[in-house]
């Protein structure tokens, strides 16, 4: 986990967000990623170059080793990330 990453939401208040980054994450054993927002705030999940902003199941079978980044907006500075992220073989 890299808490020093700097990033901004597109069109979302950038002063209140948490960032979670795994650089060179190994996707080779997974074909899909499922994302469920457990909170009321917006988010962005980046898998390689794919940007995800809505709940659902997405194809990541073309990725090998790439970045997994989560940005989660909240109502306080550095809010808890309230997302369920499942990697599916």
pLDDT tens, position by position, 16-54: 778 888 888 899 999 999 999 999 988 999 999 999 999
Strand partners, 32: 59, 88
Residue 59 in domain: yes
Residue 1 in domain: no
Helix (H, G, I), strand (E, B) or coil at 12: coil
Alpha carbon of residue 88 to chain centroid = 15
Domain containing 60: what range? 17-88
d(CA 83, CA 41): 10
pTM of this structure: 0.81
Residue 11 in domain: no
E strand or H helix that includes residue 33: strand 32-37
Residue 3 in domain: no
pLDDT reported for residue 32: 96
Residue 10 in domain: no
pLDDT over 90 percentage in the chain: 48
Residue 46 in domain: yes
What is the tally of structural domains in the chain?
A: 1
Residue 68 in domain: yes
Alpha carbon of residue 71 to chain centroid = 6
Q: Residue 22 gets which letter from DSSP?
A: E
């Amino acid at each position: 986990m890299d808490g020093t990453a700097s990033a901004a939401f597109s069109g979302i208040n950038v002063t209140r967000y948490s960032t979670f980054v795994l650089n060179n994450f190994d996707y080779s054993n997974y074909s899909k990623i499922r994302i469920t927002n457990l909170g009321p705030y917006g988010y962005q999940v980046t898998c390689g170059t794919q940007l995800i902003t809505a709940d659902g199941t997405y194809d990541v079978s073309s990725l090998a080793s790439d970045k997994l980044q989560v940005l989660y907006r909240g109502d306080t500075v550095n809010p808890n990330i309230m997302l369920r992220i499942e990697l599916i073989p």
